[in-house]
Amino acid sequence: MADAVPGGYSIETLLAAAATDFGGAVAPPIVQTSLFTFDSYQAFEDRMAGRSGDPLYTRVQNPTVAAFEKLMAQAEDGEAAVGFASGMAAISSTVLAFVKPGDRIACIEHVYPDAYRLFERLLKPFGIGVSYHSIEEFQTDPDLLKGVKLAYLESPNSVVFQTMDLSAVAANAKRHGTLTVVDNSWATPLFQRPLSLGIDITLHSASKYLSGHSDTVAGVVIARQELITRIRDLTLTLLGGKLAPFEAFLLTRGLRTLGARMRQHQETANLFVDRLSAHPNVTAVLSPGPNVVPGLTGRSGLLSVEVDETIDIPRLADALNLFRLGVSWGGFESLILPTRIGLAQAGEQNSMQRFGVSDRILRLSLGLEDPNDLWADFEAALSTSART
């Protein structure tokens, strides 16, 4: 697991042990109110003039949401955090707080498909330039970020799970005055802490591992105070994609068990990587392990496997009992997403088509079932679906 948090404890301990700001309540109450009133004219005026930080209105500030934000800031080694209604609200609100027409964004290839659509369908028409680059280009071209306002990164990236040396890219970005953003949903702060590697902003789809229970759609952004203040004042307040108190309660509940869950996801993923790599019908296993790049300390349960031409993919998917077919990932349940379904997704701007993903790839989200049961299920489906 990643390095220690202040106080000498591990992040896992911090998340399990941190007290709430609600007296002796171990779980935060859900403060289900839209507005907060003031005891006096003076207190109200102080708040509006910025002389006090008392909660005012839940679009901007809520104590249940603040409890989750505080935990995430500590876990990700940031000064502050801000919650959002979804991962996409976190991504769009972060990017829009820092770019304006005429600016350029450099984005990693194989980025999350809806982030790609945000750039192509919404930002480009507003006159914001976006270019896409391989990990090699980010790591080796010292001039790639010249004149670039914001570098939008994932490590590992989506579907193919390629990793980059974030500290090297962060150092290069600093020379060019480029703001760096990393989507850390795959690794969680337990396996990678981008801010401690010199990255400016890290964000999550909290719908995945942070929640862990497939019952919440949410997002969160962590950075130094000055950047979070800008996001809060501009895009949280004005676009309004706020995190709801009930979702924040569920997320804090999820964070309490993040360490135990990630340990189990890693154990199952290690077993799958070993057995898949030795399987005669498997042509590639895409699953970065600890230390393939500096700062990555674990293997999460989201990985891809490429199978050879003898495997009938629809038949394999239908032969599975424990793996269910569906989008998303990071919950207790195991899921399979064949890329040929992603490639067939209707609509404009399909990033899988653009960046060229093999239709022999299956993305697996390994859940919390017994690893041996999961492997037996997958192995049996592989043999059932092999054309002879």
Ligand X SMILES: *Cc1c(COP(=O)(O)O)cnc(C)c1O
* DSSP state for residue 36 in the 8-state scheme: -
Supply the DSSP string of 195-239, one letter for each residue.
GGGT-SEEEEETTTTTT-SS----EEEEE-HHHHHHHIIIIIHHH
| φ, ψ dihedrals at 150, nearest 5° | -145, 135
Nearest to ligand X of 241, 290 (CB atom)? 241
Q: Select from 78, 83, 219, 259 the one that contacts ligand X (CB under 6 A).
A: 219
202 makes contact with ligand X (CB under 6 A): no
| φ, ψ dihedrals at 345, nearest 5° | -55, 130
192 makes contact with ligand X (CB under 6 A): no
Q: Select from 58, 64, 86, 214 the one that contacts ligand X (CB under 6 A).
A: 86
382 makes contact with ligand X (CB under 6 A): no
Binding mask 112-141 for ligand X (x = CB under 6 A): x-----------------------------
Minimum gap (Å) between residue 263 Cβ and ligand X: 21
Minimum gap (Å) between residue 348 Cβ and ligand X: 18
Structure token pair of residue 296? 């990555």
Among the listed ranges 7-15, 205-213, 315-323, 366-374, the one in contact with ligand X (CB under 6 A) is 205-213
Minimum gap (Å) between residue 186 Cβ and ligand X: 6
Alpha carbons 241 and 243: distance in angstroms, whole number: 7
Structure token pair of residue 141? 């071209």
Cβ partners under 8 Å of residue 349, min gap 6: 116, 117, 120, 121
Q: Select from 74, 92, 93, 158 the one that contacts ligand X (CB under 6 A).
A: 158
207 makes contact with ligand X (CB under 6 A): yes
Nearest to ligand X of 352, 381 (CB atom)? 352
| φ, ψ dihedrals at 357, nearest 5° | -105, 135
Nearest to ligand X of 99, 251 (CB atom)? 251
Question: CA dist 281 to 80, 320, 382, Å?
Answer: 47, 17, 8
Helix (H, G, I), strand (E, B) or coil at 380: helix
Alpha carbons 104 and 151: distance in angstroms, whole number: 9
Minimum gap (Å) between residue 318 Cβ and ligand X: 25
**Site residues (vs ligand X, CB under 6 A):** 86-88, 112, 158, 183, 185, 205, 207-208, 217, 219
